Structure 1
């Protein structure tokens, strides 16, 4: 993965809260952690936590059923919600694609710029304006529109404030060390694209379809596999995304980048997590889908490149 040195970066939708940043009590209290999940409980419990985060926030943003007919393009206004951001200045030095090639923080900005431009174009072609997600990094803990969250939660999307949150220690401490992922520079872009996929689902009203929360054919699994498919859609088109002056953001994505995304999708499959946590594979407890499903739906988005191909809710078998 290489960025175009001539591309100009826009840091307007990206912020950093620093260590233990946030909103104090969060207004709505802490994120609802289900029973049995203790602090430091590890990534084996993370998928359940993330699902509860998503479901708990559906009613907090005037969304859910209020977003309109599922699958329709909804007019969400023009700008990202930056009202919760208290910026540490972490990204102030990120100005060009060359900065992104040399600095992982600036690479994160470049990926966000590409995701924003791609999905904005998709919505424009569908006849609707696009409201971008904000993207916030933090260390230790953070306050969100969905409440307080710790680094234990991992990268997540909050529908209430339409924000993506991550502590970037997740990639080395959890994805590689705990789950055995191989790492690589396209791992984080895959994860960010997946979370941006949840934002797209929020705008389209798809989150309102979630009724069943566990099991191999559950709505929760369909939601997550669709986000993987959306990540594949963006990956297919990423080299064609550009900055505000029409300069390409990416110089190159190669097959190795796709393999890194697939390896990460494999590492966070429910069956893989169950195995690595020492338990037996029990599909009745799945919330995100198996490794095979996650890889296959990412590739469906990558190979097909359209929203219709990613309609996991219409699929008879996942």
Structure 2
């Protein structure tokens, strides 16, 4: 067998060259200041980082940023590895390589045949204990689109693969026990380690990097660009996970730390990635058109929330769907979908914004927003708070719980990519978290966290009991 690379393949709207298997859909948007890292990367300034330890460096701003990230990463694992695994951290024996993929005559790093083999990618090669990245068409594009936090996340993920090898997860062990160590688990663990490191940075433990907690949205937006193509089976040899799987692993590391990551296994990890159910599902990319989505989801929403309310001793008043050609204004500014308590209706915009969200993100972006308004209706019937932080978190959680109830049901409409669409709409908009007064949760990171809790743990975790 040839050298096996552990790598990220990215598609960034034609700005980055695609690998043969890379084909993803990304959300639109531009980076904000919250997605940037405050770094000291100039070696001529106090506390600056000298990038000369990077092979083939051009000493430019991208490699200086990479050097700052790698220096803090090595400090983190020097501190964390002994407590997690009981041994000392050993730096990469093969070193770190910056690759100018725009130059055919550029030096070639170990494990590949030519510089262009690295185009649009970063990888860790266990055979040579080497990390390499494309400084021409990957890191600068990530920084421009998502902020410096995206560069930190990519390099932290690759270092996570180096951690796995030092913890005893060898290529040979993977090959001998593929069912125990599928690629999707290996990649999730690396995402988890990246999340643990980023939390260490957010907690102001790093020397060269600083990132505010409200800067996590840009990091997650960059992470979902590395998801697998829609319809990839989780058992595929090169599967990395859908956006829900990847964000889940990252957030688990961020919230719980490296020890939880080290204990991840096929026995305790739930993956949601799945292939298309049939040729029809594949032909439409797993998406229903706007009208079909409402026809398909309405009975399922009614059944789920009727059961949720009546099981708690209350009577469910089924809300009626009420299309309108403008933004609903019946109770606070809830966005393009609103629960109207006086008329017991769920009003939704058919004229502009909601159809646009449906088209640009996907059908379950609409489904997620609609489920959150049914959730607000249920909170009303259960006489739970419908305004304030508690209501905001419970609403998103219940939208997740409804979604989780659909997983694995063959006669339901959830398709590959639907959970990814939920993640994207939660990161891009606060609508699913808005309460009856039109107030929502500020960060997509928190909205995704609440939604995931509902998906994975059910409605009993959503503040109802």
Output the TM-score relative to the length of structure 1: 0.58
Match of 2:75 in 1: 117
**Candidates 232, 240, 254, aligned match of 1:282:** 232
> Mapping of 1:1-318 within 5 angstroms?
42-45=18-21, 93=43, 96-97=46-47, 103-125=61-83, 126-133=85-92, 134-140=95-101, 143-153=108-118, 154-171=121-138, 182-208=145-171, 209-211=173-175, 219-238=182-201, 239-242=203-206, 248-250=207-209, 252-270=210-228, 274-275=229-230, 281-283=231-233, 284-285=235-236, 287-313=239-265, 314-318=267-271
Q: Which has the larger radius of gyration?
A: 2
Task: Tell me how large the CA RMSD over aligned residues is.
Answer: 3.7
Pair 202,143 (structure 1): closer, same or farther in 2 beyond 3 Å? farther
The alpha-carbon distance between structure 1 residues 249 and 92, as it changes in their structure 2 partners (threshold 3 A), is closer
Task: Give the Å deviation of 1:310.
Answer: 4.6
Counterpart-to-counterpart distance in 2, 1:188 and 1:131: 23
- Cα separation, partners in 2 of 1:220 and 1:207, compared to 1, 3 Å: farther
SS of the residue corresponding to residue 113 of structure 2 reads: strand
Describe the shift of the 1:197–1:93 C-alpha distance in structure 2 as closer, same or farther (beyond 3 A).
Answer: same
Give 1:214 shift.
9.2
Note closer, same or farther for the CA distance 1:207–1:264 as it changes in structure 2 (3 Å cut). Answer: farther
Distance 1:305 1:173, change over 3 A: closer
Work out the CA distance in 2 between the residues paired with 1:237 and 1:92: 22
Q: Which residue number corresponds to residue 62 of structure 1? A: none
1:194 CA displacement: 0.1
SS of equivalent residue, structure 1 residue 137: strand
- Alignment partners' CA distance in 1, 2:67 and 2:109: 20
C-alpha contact (below 8 Å) 1:114/1:249 kept by paired residues: yes
Matches of 1:94 and 1:127, distance apart in 2:
37
Q: CA deviation at 1:205?
A: 1.3
Q: Label 1:144 to 1:136 Cα distance change in 2 as closer, same or farther (>3 A).
A: closer
SS of the aligned residue for 1:45 comes to coil
Cα distance in 2 for partners of 1:226, 1:122 equals 15
Say if 1:213 and 1:287, in contact at 8 Å, map to a contact too: no
Label 1:234 to 1:287 Cα distance change in 2 as closer, same or farther (>3 A).
Answer: same
| Kept after mapping to 1: 8 A contact 2:62/2:135 | no
Bigger RCO (CA 8 Å, 6+ sep): 1
Counterparts in 2 of 1:128 and 1:225: CA distance versus 1, 3 Å: same
Distance 1:205 1:31, change over 3 A: closer
Q: 1:210, CA displacement in angstroms?
A: 2.1
Structure 1, 259-268 or 127-136: larger mean CA deviation? 127-136
Judged with a 3 Å threshold, the aligned counterparts in structure 2 of structure 1 residues 257 and 41 are, in CA distance, closer, same or farther, namely: closer
Structure 1 residue runs without a partner (length 5+) = 1-27, 33-39, 48-90, 243-247, 276-280
SS at match of 1:300: helix
**2:178, 2:82 → 1: CA distance?**
34
After TM superposition, the structure 1 stretch with the greater mean CA deviation from structure 2, 201-210 or 182-191, is 201-210
Q: State how many pairs are aligned.
A: 221
CA distance in 1, matches of 2:177, 2:22: 14
Deviation, 1:104, is 3.5
8 Å CA contact 2:195–2:250 kept in 1: the answer is yes
**What is the deviation of 1:135?**
1.8
Q: Counterpart in 1 of 2:53?
A: none
Alignment partner of 1:148: what SS? coil
Unaligned runs of 5+ in 2: 6-15, 24-40, 51-59, 272-465
TM-score (structure 2 length as normaliser): 0.41
